[in-house]
């Protein structure tokens, strides 16, 4: 069993990183034989895709290549092979994983640029990620839950769920979020500091439960 753990917060000591570490430690405790690959997407940052990368996608579409083991065949010119050299180690980590843990704070109502760069590099037309289980752990400065006034502005966890579940043939991801983190520093939100602390405590309990659940599901497979 193999866990790929990806952090994307610009903060070294962040809520999303803390929740991710809690998931990871609980997962490994539940399945001590598990291998773990860790990547901090901010250090060093993943470069943005290039024009050569887009031509790799064109080649794959034109020749109807979608099998994970064959995607490298899309890189043909010298420039495309340079672009593939960036993709190859990132994609190899993803392909090797049974469980993928993505930790992501909300920045400007969406995901961090560091995570978006990784997604851009490793996803290709019609690829099938099959059995892999995804877990998405987020932190948000306010509350964007269904029914809240700002719910329509939630392009963060919803984007990740739609990206993973909607296009790449994997089971629906498990999602955990801690809310109202800005209450710690914003005087306007100070009245919600207790609600934030409760949200973090609930999120920690949820990631522990999710880690044990995913470990048992993957082991049963």
* Banded model confidence at residue 220, pLDDT cuts 50, 70, 90: low
Nearest by Cα to 6 from 152, 200, 164 = 164
Whether residue 166 has pLDDT greater than 80: no
Question: What pLDDT, on a 0 to 100 scale, did the predictor assign at position 221?
Answer: 62
Whether residue 219 has pLDDT greater than 80: no
Instruction: Confirm or deny that 107 is annotated as ligand binding.
Output: yes
Whether residue 149 has pLDDT greater than 90: no
Instruction: Confirm or deny that 16 is annotated as ligand binding.
Output: yes
Residue-wise pLDDT tens digits, 81-121? 999 999 999 999 999 999 999 999 999 999 999 999 999 99
Q: Of the given ranges (73-82, 154-163, 173-182, 206-215), which has the lowest mean pLDDT?
A: 154-163
Instruction: Confirm or deny that 164 is annotated as ligand binding.
Output: no
* Banded model confidence at residue 193, pLDDT cuts 50, 70, 90: very high
Better-scored residue on pLDDT, 27 or 168: 27
Residue with tokens 């290709």: 124
Instruction: Confirm or deny that 128 is annotated as ligand binding.
Output: no
Question: What pLDDT, on a 0 to 100 scale, did the predictor assign at position 163?
Answer: 81
Residue-wise pLDDT tens digits, 47-82? 999 999 999 999 999 999 999 999 999 999 999 999
* Banded model confidence at residue 211, pLDDT cuts 50, 70, 90: very high
Q: What is the CATH number for 137?
A: 3.40.50.360
Instruction: Confirm or deny that 143 is annotated as ligand binding.
Output: no
Q: How many domains does the chain have?
A: 1
- Provide the mean pLDDT of the chain: 94
Instruction: Confirm or deny that 169 is annotated as ligand binding.
Output: no
**pTM here?**
0.93
Whether residue 161 has pLDDT greater than 80: yes
Residue-wise pLDDT tens digits, 10-44? 999 999 999 999 999 999 999 999 999 999 999 99
SS (H, E, C) the chain: CEEEEEECCCCCCCHHHHHHHHHHHHHHHHCCCCEEEEEECECCECCCCCHHHHHHHHHHHHCCCCCHHHHHHHCCCHHHHHHHHHHHHHHHHHHHCCEEEEEEECECCECCHHHHHHHHHHCCCCCCCCCCEEEEEEECCCCCCCCCCCHHHCCCHHHHHHHHHHHCCCCCCEEEEECCHHHHCCHHHHHHHHHHHHHHHHHHHHHHHHHHHHHHHHHHC
Question: What pLDDT, on a 0 to 100 scale, did the predictor assign at position 118?
Answer: 97
Q: Which structural domain, as residue segments, surrounds residue 151?
A: 2-220
Instruction: Confirm or deny that 109 is annotated as ligand binding.
Output: yes
Whether residue 206 has pLDDT greater than 90: yes
């Amino acid at each position: 069993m193999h866990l790929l753990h990806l952090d994307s917060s610009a903060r070294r000591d962040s809520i999303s990183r803390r929740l991710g570490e809690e998931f990871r430690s609980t997962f490994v405790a539940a399945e001590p034989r598990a291998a773990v690959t860790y990547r901090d997407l901010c250090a060093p940052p993943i470069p943005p895709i290039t024009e050569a990368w887009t031509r790799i996608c064109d080649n794959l579409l034109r020749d109807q290549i979608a099998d994970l083991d064959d995607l490298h065949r899309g890189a043909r010119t010298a420039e495309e092979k340079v672009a593939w050299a960036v993709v190859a180690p990132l994609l190899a980590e993803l392909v090797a994983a049974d469980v993928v843990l993505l930790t992501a704070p909300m920045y400007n109502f969406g995901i961090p640029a560091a995570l978006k760069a990784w997604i851009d590099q490793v996803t290709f037309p019609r690829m099938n990620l099959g059995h892999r289980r995804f877990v998405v752990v987020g932190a948000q400065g306010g509350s964007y839950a269904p029914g809240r006034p700002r719910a329509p502005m939630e392009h963060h966890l919803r984007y990740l769920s739609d990206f993973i579940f909607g296009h790449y043939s994997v089971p629906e991801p498990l999602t955990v979020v801690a809310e109202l983190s800005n209450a710690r520093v914003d005087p306007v939100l100070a009245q919600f500091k207790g609600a934030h602390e409760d949200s973090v405590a609930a999120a920690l309990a949820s990631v522990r439960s999710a880690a044990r659940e995913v470990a048992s599901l993957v082991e049963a497979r």
